[in-house]
Structure 1
Amino acid sequence: MHQIADLIAIFDSTFYQSHNTRLIKGADEPIYLPADEQTTYHQIVFAHGFYASALHEIAHWLVAGEKRRLLEDYGYWYCPDGRDKHQQAEFEAVEVKPQAIEWALSAAAGFDFNVSVDNLNGEQTCRFAFQQRVHQHLLSLLASGFNQRTYALLKALSDFYKTPWPLTSAQFVWQHPGELSDAV
Structure 2
Amino acid sequence: MLQHNYQDLIALFEQVFFQQYNTRLIKGADEPLYAPADENCAYHQIIFAHGYYASAFHEIAHWCHAGEKRRLLEDFGYWYIPDGRDQAQQLKFEQVEIKPQAIEWAFCVAVGKKFDVSVDNLSGTGNTDRIAFKLAVYQQVARYLSSGFPHDAQLYIAALADFYQTPLPLTRAHFAL
TM-score normalised per structure 1:
0.93
Partner Cα distance (1:45, 1:60) in 2: 12
- The answer on 1:57 being equivalent to 2:63 is no
**Pair 1:152 & 2:151 matched:** no
SS of 2:83's partner is coil
**In the alignment, which residue of structure 2 is the partner of 1:82?**
84
Alignment deviations for residues 7-66 of structure 1 (CA, whole Å, 9 cap, x no partner): 100000000001100000000100000001111110000011100000000000000011
For residues 77 and 137 of structure 1, the distance between their equivalents in structure 2, rounded to whole angstroms, comes to: 21
SS of the residue corresponding to residue 81 of structure 1 reads coil
**Which residue matches 2:145?**
142
Residue aligning to 1:161: 164
Structure 2 unmatched ranges of 5 or more: none
Cα displacement (A) at 1:161: 0.3
Name the SS for the 1:164 alignment partner. coil
Match of 2:119 among 114, 117, 120: 117
What letter matches 1:134 in structure 2?
V
Equivalent position of 2:136 in the other structure: 133
Gaps of 5+ in 1: 175-184
What is the rounded CA distance, in whole Å, between the counterparts of 1:116 and 1:6 in structure 2? 23
Give the TM-score normalised by structure 2: 0.96
Q: Please give the alpha-carbon distance, in whole angstroms, between the structure 2 residues aligned to 1:84 and 1:173.
A: 30
Partners of 1:101 and 1:77 lie apart in 2 by 19
State the alpha-carbon separation in 1 of the partners of residues 169 and 91 from structure 2: 33
Counterpart residue type for residue 13 of structure 1: Q
Cα shift at 1:98: 0.3
**1:17-96 equivalences in 2 (<5 Å):** 17-96=19-98
Runs of 4+ in 1 over 3 A off after TM superposition: none
Instruction: Determine the C-alpha separation between the residues in 2 that align with 1:106 and 1:173.
Output: 12
Task: State the 1:124 CA deviation.
Answer: 2.1
How many residue pairs end up in the alignment?
174
1:26 is matched by which residue type in structure 2? G
